Amino acid sequence: MSVVVVTGSGGLIGSQAVTHFAKDADEVVGIDNDMRREFFGDEASTDWVVNDLINTQPNYRHVGLDIRDEKAMDRLFAEYGSDIKLIIHTAAQPSHDWAARDPQTDFTINANGTLNLLEAARLNCPDSVFIFTSTNKVYGDTPNHLPLVETETRWELDDNHPWHEHGIPEEMTIDQSTHSLFGVSKLAADALVQEYGRYFDMKTAVFRGGCLTGPDHAGAELHGFLAYLVKCTVTGNPYTVFGYKAKQVRDNIHASDLISAFQHFYESPRVGEVYNIGGGRHINCSMLEAIDLAERISGKKLSWTYSDENRIGDHKWYVSDIRRFQSHYPDWKLTHSLETIVTEIHDKMAERWLEHEGSAAS
């Protein structure tokens, strides 16, 4: 029997992972208790995604457990034992703004929850593959000390810098920087996943993501900037850009391309690996460029304001160097452009957003 466990199965990456791996697994077990509703409000709830998975994936089992519950995690993993072949851990408190409001909850979810899952895997299915979605925030604000040049629409790394052509590699230091409390809790989890791989010889991988996005993203003000930006453009809701003259740059990766990377790692796993993953030099944009694209695709103007105060630990420029993963898995490719990503988000979600706005107003 082949069992895949997906935490955060109602989220963007989690739900995509369920759909993808359900094609071949005997059973996919999804762990999600809709904490996203608690973090970001009713509009960010993932209940509708979970219900869709239950109704469309016959071999999907949903469990509404909390990854902070050590005993519950161990019982669930013990139920399947060595039948568990793959664990994809996407559950998290994902916002550095929210983390500052409640550091205890943030840390126990991101760090302690990850420890619970690793230990449950070590005790019950040590030969399974463990994939963790980390974040570029583990580097703190170190990227802001790179020699950046201001252009008309974006900040850009100086042409003469060795990282200009490909972006930021895994060699960037994680020390002596301001991470945000969210960055610290994810860094703790990141290091745990590496350590369980190296110390216990487990097949673990850390994927330090840039902006993970796609048409199923329940974007909210504090998380999921691209989806939320398109949402505000469509609905007319106000949007605020924080700092850096609205020229901060992020690379973006479509959820399906990230899941494809997971598949490649699962088929040929390694021990204690770390990968920067994102759109890299192929798919990146500044806030100004993203606003322009969202307006062009939706045919509407975004109502946005600017705040001089940037978010603590936020990056002015971040583009992932994805060559390490590509060198290990040369058959993996990025398949979506920025324009196709934004178009997919708009075409799938615009009607739903407008219906929700209408029902909320009535």
pLDDT, tens digit, 9 for 90 and up, residues 181-223: 999 999 999 999 999 999 999 999 999 998 999 887 766 665 6
300-333 residue pLDDT tens = 999 999 999 998 878 999 999 999 999 999 999 9
* DSSP labels, 45-67: --HHHHHHHHHH-TTEEEE---T
Task: pLDDT band for 91, please (50, 70, 90 cuts).
Answer: very high
User: Exposed/middle/buried for 244, CB within 10 Å: 0-12, 13-18, 19+?
Assistant: buried
From residue 200, how far is each of 73, 121, 341 by CA, in Å? 19, 11, 39
Q: Does CATH place domain 3-361 in 3.40.50.720? A: yes
pLDDT at 75 over 60: yes
232-251 mean pLDDT:
95
pLDDT score recorded for residue 362:
44
| Residue 253, amino acid | I
- Kindly calculate the radius of gyration of the chain based on its CA atoms and give it in whole angstroms: 20
Instruction: Give the mean pLDDT of the chain.
Output: 93
Q: State pLDDT tens for residues 101-131.
A: 999 999 999 999 999 999 999 999 999 999 9
pTM for the structure as a whole: 0.94
Domain boundaries, the chain: 3-361
pLDDT of the residue at 224:
66
pLDDT value at residue 306:
96
pLDDT for residue 312: 81
